[in-house]
A and B are shown apart, each in its own frame.
Chain A
Amino acid sequence: MAQLQARVKSLGAVLGAERGAIFGNPGSVRRPIAFLIIAFIVAWRVAPSFLTPDNLNALLISSSFLIVLSVGEGFVIMQGMIDLGVESIMSASGMLAAYMYVFKDMPPGLAIFLTLLAGIAIGVAVGLLVTRVHIPSFIVTLATFWGFSGVALLYNQGNSISPSQVTPAKEFTFLGISSYSLGGGISNLIITSVIVVVLAQLVLSYTPVGTWMKSVGSSEAAARSVGLNTAIIKTGAFAVSGLLAALAGVMIAAWQDSIYPTSGQGYSLQAIAAVILGGIPFTGGRGTVAGAAIGAVIIGMINNLIVLLGLPVLWDYIIVAIILVVAGLQARGGPFVK
């Protein structure tokens, strides 16, 4: 019996090692890439219309908001914290930008700039409450989740904002963020999300600040003992997630050519799911925001497939739930690996 157990264990170790070789170790970006490839293959087999340029383009565009949010959420979760409020900041920011542009006749550039600044300010405020007043991030961001969904209602008495509410109508061009570049080829939304992911991953992998963020998640005591200012590092993460949530709000307003106080609804949990799927464990310390972006695309794919296959929306939720559990499992390093 003991011999059998030993055999199973060694087989598991080999499998675990093999898995490490093919799929990368926990936190490596190889894993979400592998998942993405698997998801693509499954999608292609199940829905032939999935792999068409039109559909893929639509997928990347509709995922761009979640990608941007997931990068911000990734920085927060990387440090062992959480930001539940991103969806409300997204809604409120979109409303704010539209309000300034449509009703206050501000130039779009200024409206966007101030909105992004507001996002950063909210993030800094959250960071201060977490690091100086010592309220857990879960609670502070639960408060912003509720609070800013309320703030979103302030701009037009609970109604949406759209171009035709003033004359002459003010189309939400917003500096062309939702128009197309390269001769009409690629949506600027896609380009924006790619730039965000690349910059963020560069910082995380190639700068000391990125290492510091990972260290705070891995062992805050270690970070403090070498003299790092963990309060600033943590606040920085919230500033980034606030900024990116505001950006996502502007992006979705531009895309829809209108903005609702509920435009961001549901995005917080999807962003968190994308981050976990992408390889950042809940306690942080390792992983990539590129992985989080891939996680966002996978979640977008599920929704896309549900629509293509004409399935009831219920399946969207169930499949995301299953994938989330699988993501959580593999984030530990698997049952056989120590």
Chain B
Amino acid sequence: MTTGDGNTLQEPLLSVCHLRKSFGHVHAVDDVSLDIYPREVVGLIGDNGAGKSTFLSLLTGYYHADSGEFIYKGHRVPMSSPKTSRRNLKIEMIYQDLRLAPDLPVRENLFLGEEPKILGIFLNKRYMQQSAAKVLQRLNVGAKPSDLLNRLSGGEQQAVAIGRALLFDRDIILMDEPTASISVNKVQDVLRMIRDLKEHGKTVILVSHRLEDILEVSDRIVVFFHGRIRAMVKNEGLQISDLVHLMFEAAADPRKEEIAAAGESGSLA
């Protein structure tokens, strides 16, 4: 299998195999398998309830899968908690509501849960300050590390959330509706940050309802439907109508297939 951006054959960074998760009778994730490669942007689309958010939660360890495997860099790993997925699997999740602490300074937010320590007990505030300043600069955010988070604009706060991934050199960044609740002129900033992350060698898995954003940044697009992956397409020559078609068209069997670039007309039979 090639990487999303069409490069030569590579080993997947993370392989998810036959993942299942049910809540009572609802099969939120129903036998999902996906290979995730370095340096790509994967767009996840699908209607509400299709399983995208549950899938992300399984990747971060927020939910435990009922069955299935995770293979990271060739080794089988148990995904147990947000802490282990962040540290061992180098996955960072950025929630739609950001989940940052508004009363704490930027620098405390960046390091929350993984604070650098002196003598094992005391905060290494100087290191925190310096590292935070560097990350903020890289993200082009004008705020200072000591600024309280609630003093920052929505877009800057989002950058801080992304900053955590940069700070700890995470490989895979999951983003759940990053452009849903920000102003129109900030959307391009977020998309630019996503492209930057890819430039820096990261993988971004992006869940969004805004199909235009998905088309703009994704290398490949994965379509969820009723808990399964219904289609996986390279983002070449696709239009919004193609995506809508894939998301909603009733199919005889939900199937997972790789569709070669559809070309200009965009009709996929």
Contact = CB atoms under 8 A, between A and B. Distances in A.
Nearest to A219: B101
B77 interface: no
Interface string A256-287: 00000000000000000000000000000110
B121 A227 contact: no
Contact of A222 (B83, B99, B115): B99
Interface residues of A, number: 22
B102 interface: yes
Contacts of B113: 212, 223, 226-228
Contacts of A27: 103
Given A225-B99, A285-B103, A215 B112 contact: yes
Interface stretch (A120-128, A147-155, A203-211, A237-245): A203-211
A208 B86 CA distance: 18
A217 interface: yes
A25 B117 CA distance: 27
A212 B109 CA distance: 10
A207, A227, A228 interface centre (most CB from chain B within 10 Å): A227
A206, A219, A286 interface centre (most CB from chain B within 10 Å): A219
Contacts of A214: 101, 103-104, 108
A131 interface: no
A226 B114 contact: yes
Q: Interface size for chain B: under 10, 10 to 19, 20 to 34, or 35 or more residues?
A: 20 to 34
A216 to B, nearest CB: 9
B67 interface: no
B102 to A, nearest CB: 6
Contact of B104 (A225, A228, A285): A285
B115 A208 contact: yes
A49 interface: no
B196 interface: no
A62 interface: no
Contacts, number: 71
B123 interface: yes
A106 interface: no
A31 to B, nearest CB: 15
B103 A211 contact: no
Contacts of B84: 227
B104 A221 contact: no
A218 interface: yes
Contact of A221 (B97, B109, B114, B122): B97
B89 interface: no
A144 B62 CA distance: 34
B93 A215 contact: no
B82 A218 contact: no
B103 A218 contact: yes
Contacts of A225: 62, 82, 93, 95, 99
Interface in B78-106: 81-84, 86, 93, 95, 97, 99-104
Given A206-B123, A207-B123, A211-B115, A226 B82 contact: yes
Nearest to A285: B103
A227 B102 contact: no
Interface string A115-138: 000000000000000000000000
A226 B103 contact: no
A189 to B, nearest CB: 28
B81, B104, B148 interface centre (most CB from chain A within 10 Å): B104
B112 A217 contact: no
B100 A219 contact: yes
Contacts of A224: 82
Given A206-B123, A223-B112, A226-B114, A215 B101 contact: yes
A217 B103 contact: yes
Contacts of B102: 218-219, 285
The 8 residue pairs across chains A and B that have the minimum distance between CB atoms: A227-B83, A226-B113, A285-B103, A218-B101, A218-B103, A208-B115, A227-B82, A225-B99
14 contacts: A206-B125, A207-B122, A208-B123, A212-B113, A214-B103, A219-B99, A221-B99, A222-B101, A224-B82, A225-B95, A226-B114, A227-B81, A227-B113, A228-B113
